[in-house]
Amino acid sequence: MNNNSKNKINETIIDDIRNLYNTKHYTLVIQRAQQIMKEHGDSFIFWSFIGAANFNLGMHEEASEAFYKVITLNPKSPSGYNNYGYTFLKLGKMEKAIENFYKAISINNEYDEAYINLSIAYKEKGENEVAIQNYKKLLAFRPNNEKAHNNLGVIYREEKMFDKAS
């Protein structure tokens, strides 16, 4: 089998799993990805699907383990670190979450989602000033990010900084 045929098969398998994921068949995503990796070896792509499926099933510990595999297999993956951090955020482990969001940002310093999640983690810790600083960093390179504007406005309102909320 040549590389083009192998790539087509891989693309077809990934598309099949993506379709299962998009139709919210999370348990099937996990089963299918695990089966494929038994046959073909570990893959950060399939671990990503497993992590996301577990997360959506509310199984945050299992999602965390899967995302750890992602960053082990692909240590240059900003989304892997972001997702790994997000599981810690949901588990209430803010320091671990923050550490992983910073790692994602160190790989891609214009990664919107990591800045949003980093700011959310700091807000959860009660460190609103640091959250504000990170939202402002994001808005410096992505001035139209609605989520950043909205979340920043919420903090300003909560802090009674009404002059800045407009």
- Give pLDDT tens digits for 89-122: 999 999 999 999 999 999 999 999 999 999 999 9
Predicted pLDDT at 139: 97
Predicted pLDDT at 165: 65
Predicted pLDDT at 5: 40
Q: How confident is the model at residue 6 (pLDDT cuts 50, 70, 90)?
A: very low
Length of the chain (residues): 166
Say whether pLDDT at 164 is over 80: no
Say whether pLDDT at 129 is over 60: yes
Say whether pLDDT at 2 is over 60: no
Predicted pLDDT at 79: 97
pLDDT > 90 in the chain, percent: 87
Predicted pLDDT at 4: 47
Higher local confidence (pLDDT), 98 or 5: 98
From 37-41, 93-97, 124-128, the region with the lowest mean pLDDT: 37-41
Say whether pLDDT at 3 is over 50: no
